[in-house]
A and B are shown apart, each in its own frame.
Chain A
Amino acid sequence: MLEVSHIDTFHGRIQALWDVSLTIGEAEIVALVGANGAGKTTLLSTLSGLLPSASGSIEFRGKRIDGLKSHAIVELGISHIPEGRRLFPDMSVRENLEMGAYLQRVWKEKEETLEEVYQLFPKLRERQGQLASTLSGGEQQMVAMGRGLMSKPRLCVIDEPSSGLAPIVVDEIFQIIEGLRGRGMAIFLIEQNVQQTLEIADRAYVMENGRIVIAGEGKKLLQEELIRKAYLGL
């Protein structure tokens, strides 16, 4: 459903992505791992139109999306759940979630979508009137994920969802991500929790210095000596 072909992306004059190509299929969890500064977040920003690619193309369900504005990309069905949550701190949980549904396509159904999000994250229902800034880290991550789901995406791009969360909550987040695949959603997942990520990923790409250096099935990559040394610290 997503096909990225030979893209180069720059931060000012510095080239951050070099000839990156990858594909994501329907209802597939694809992971992207790599060291900090490898270009993972830059790749996600390029996908969602926050940064322009200087060359190459990005197609989503047969349509070119490189060059489109971010809101148009969301409209087509790609939702980006950013690193560090980026909530609206002075808005309530419910208001933050509703912000994710400001698309004609989904606004009418927002009450039903909200209900689905609350079922996925029951804690958010309890906290719906509370200001986002007063939530704990784990709860904030849940709001960020919930907000991303409010636009009813076909592809969810998630940047480090488990960062800063208690182990028991991390397990829950991974279960939820698997559950989303079960509902037919495709997931593009950046995670530093490499072990748990490769266990649930159908396929994975490894990025180094702005280039994709390895691609393969998640569970197979877990066994590879290079991956174990470089990314699992084993």
Chain B
Amino acid sequence: MAILEGNGVTKYFGGLAAVSNVDFHVEQGEVVGLIGPNGAGKTTLFNLISAALRLKSGTIKFRGIDITGFKPYRICRMGVARTFQTVKIFPNMLVLQNVILGSYFGMSPRISSSDAPKKASEILEFVGLSRVSATPARDLTLANQKRLEVARALATHPDLLLLDEIMAGLNPTEVAEAMELVVRIREKGISIIMIEHVMKAIMKLCDRIMVLHHGQKLAEGTPQAIATSEKVIKVYLGERAHAGS
């Protein structure tokens, strides 16, 4: 059964159709890639799923329940967590406190104030940030702030994780580490939608890729099909990336 399902999802910014009549679904345990030119509507789609923005029309179902119009906290507590492309950490709190905050906010399952720090430490270990757990979050490099976003999202105990460009700003060796992290998240049984411009990661990690362009679905298919799609090469990949894939 699809864990997430959207039908006719539409959002306007003034007269601009940022997301226009998009259907999508994510199966249990699946990793779905979301790619497309800058400004295609990818982050807007995440904002609609997580209810940071309201749909103009269409419906979104999570585990068969219509969550359209639910408040963001409620969607998070049902099991949908996200990271932010432009990081939204709490800069003056310690790294560990940022993660603890995630576990309190998620409340699924309810966690006691004595268990939360232990749980948060485990998550920091899992994402590879143990070394900086007592550092103010503002002092982390941008790459590590993105990793902290992943840790905080995991602390809410999600079944579906929306990852918004967690690999931007990483060098190829660090990308390989981040890819391994995504694999381990998946092994926990968490379904994933990932927005990413790092093609090597998208092609290797995703079961399926959806391409947005001007707010509409341009293509959808296996990594192989997407990498060789003429229209995707034309608007997004470019000839060079195509040659490399």
Chain A residues with CB under 8 Å of chain B are 11, 33-37, 41, 83-84, 134-139, 160, 163-171, 192, 194-195, 229-234
Contact = CB atoms under 8 A, between A and B. Distances in A.
A165 B197 contact: yes
Contact of B169 (A160, A195, A233): A160
A137 B238 contact: no
Given A35-B173, A138-B37, A164 B236 contact: no
Contacts of B13: 134
Contacts of B220: none
A233 B172 CA distance: 5
A136 B38 contact: yes
B28 to A, nearest CB: 29
B169 A163 contact: yes
Contacts of B176: 233
B199 to A, nearest CB: 6
Contact of B170 (A33, A36, A135): A36
B2 interface: no
A36 B143 contact: yes
Contacts of A166: 35-38, 197, 236
A36 B144 contact: yes
B174 interface: yes
B141 interface: yes
A230 B144 contact: no
A170 B237 CA distance: 10
14 contacts: A11-B139, A35-B171, A35-B173, A36-B171, A36-B174, A136-B38, A137-B39, A138-B38, A164-B38, A166-B38, A167-B238, A167-B241, A168-B241, A192-B174
Contacts of A83: 142, 169
B143 to A, nearest CB: 4
B188 interface: no
Given A36-B143, A164-B197, A168-B238, A231 B38 contact: no
A137 B38 contact: yes
A231 B197 contact: no
Closest 3 pairs between A and B when the two form their complex, measured CB to CB:
A136-B39, A138-B38, A233-B172
Given A36-B143, A135-B39, A138-B38, 17 more contacts: A36-B141, A36-B142, A37-B141, A37-B144, A83-B142, A136-B40, A139-B39, A164-B85, A164-B197, A166-B197, A167-B237, A167-B238, A168-B237, A170-B197, A192-B171, A230-B173, A231-B172
B173 to A, nearest CB: 5
A134 B14 CA distance: 12
Contact of A192 (B39, B85, B169): B169
Given A35-B173, A231-B173, A168 B39 contact: no
Nearest to A140: B38
Given A36-B141, A136-B39, A138-B37, A171 B170 contact: no
B240 A171 contact: yes
Interface in B155-201: 165, 168-176, 197, 199
B145 to A, nearest CB: 10
Contacts of A33: 171
B39 A138 contact: yes
